[in-house]
Amino acid sequence: MSLDIQALRAQFPILARKIDGKPLVYLDNAATTQKPQAVLDAIMDFYTTTNANVHRGAHSLSDEATRRYEQSRDDVARFINANCREEIIWTAGTTESINMVAKGLAQQLKAGDEVVVTEMEHHANLVTWQQACKVSGATLNVAPILDNGELDLDGFCALLNSRTKLVAFPHVSNALGTVNPIKTLTEKAKAVGAWVLVDGAQGIAHGGVDVQDIGCDFYAFSGHKLFGPTGIGVLWGKLSVLQDWPVWLVGGEMIADVTYQDATWGGLPNRLEAGTPNIAGAIGLAAAVNWFSALDTAAVQQHESALLASAHEQANSLEGMRIIGTAPKKMGVMSFMLANAHPADVGFILDRQGVAIRTGDSCAQPLMKKLGIPGTARASFSIYNTLEEVDVLFDALRKATMMLA
């Protein structure tokens, strides 16, 4: 199977937009991906035909909504090869998923315990552990990266010991594009008895995530980076770990029994899903998962690799352009500096050419400080981007170079 890129693009209504009269070239996919018509239709269909609360009503709409909502859990479980549906916990996104784990871990950490993260973390996978360690008195250790943006594996391993309680790292760096050897990192961490959380926000939309094969305890991701809606995400966790994990929120649906004096919690997944959930979001995410699953994963990855290779090749021939993050294994992200220009100025000029990129610190301020730069311009690619759009990007960059000289 191969990808018919033009037919695929036709499924994304927003890609027909123009910006200042120029065709939209959307290269901010690491921030959020666009949504295919199948996802838009699923959300609209729920609200126009089935809208009702789940698990609570005795009427047909509630029953239909519950069945669609729980079928969505099954679809996502299958997509990442979860061991069972109870391991899928709906959240608002990666950030909330990580916070759910961190808040629970903070109750179990004590002085002398250690948590390990990396220098390439998004704030969501750094600040949460930073604060958990502050509350508990544990120590936060940060594994170094090499000059090319690759994780220093020896430095990572040197931090692991019997006091290490949890290790957290990104599947793919949102700021550098580095693909981490998550299975190897997990094995190293499990060898000292630590829990392992993978921030999968940037890895999930490129296919091939198998949580059982990875061997981690938690894998967190957001729907909106997987062609789904915003405000919905997943915390996957091993059943044996989640069963006793401290509750995140309390309220409706997550209880077993309540008196005026006390309450007991229900079973998974309900015990970690208090309140009315984002029903339409879950249904939309399932639609995205099923749409994406119908594509040839190898063809998707080959196409995205070709886009990144073309971008790197053209960057090497553009005077004054410096790529930030040149690890041997990268995925979909090209962060860069353009001569002495501020990234915000580059982004503004590109926007006038219809090219949408990210500028700034990419929610990785400590990393930018380490690199000695104010931030970067970042082009990030997805399956609906074309080689012609990469050419448009570099035409716009050449104009920016002349204007900012």
Q: H or E segment at 190?
A: helix 182-190
Q: Please list the alpha-helical segments (H only) found in 59-121.
A: 60-79, 94-106
Question: Could you tell me the two tokens for 315?
Answer: 């960057």
Instruction: List, in order, residues 6 or more apart from 256 with CB less than 8 Å away.
Output: 263, 264, 265, 266, 267
- The number of angstroms, rounded, from the C-alpha of 62 to the middle of its chain's C-alpha atoms is 31
- Residue 146's Cα: distance from chain center in Å? 23
Nearest of 212, 210, 208, 201 to residue 171 by alpha carbon: 201
* H helix runs in 234-353, sequence order: 239-242, 279-293, 297-316, 343-352
The DSSP bridge partners found for residue 54 are none
SS3 content of the chain, % helix, strand, coil (to 5): 45, 20, 40
- Catalytic residue at 363? yes
- State the Cα–Cα distance between residues 256 and 252, nearest whole angstrom: 10
Q: Which residue has the tokens 């309680």?
A: 165
- Annotated catalytic residue, options 84, 133, 216, 363: 363
C-alpha dist (Å) from residue 313 to 104, 316, 350, 395? 45, 5, 19, 14
DSSP helix/strand/coil, 389: helix
What single letter denotes the amino acid at residue 386? T
Q: Which residue, among 298, 360, 307, 300, has the nearest Cα to 334 in the 3D structure?
A: 307
DSSP β-ladder status, 88-91 and 233-237: antiparallel
- Give the tokens for residue 31: 């921030």
- Name residue, tokens 């693009």: 9
Contacts of residue 179, Cβ cutoff 8 Å, sequence gap at least 6:
171, 172, 203, 327, 329, 330, 331
Q: Are 28 and 357 in contact (CB under 8 A)?
A: yes
> What residues are annotated to the active site?
363
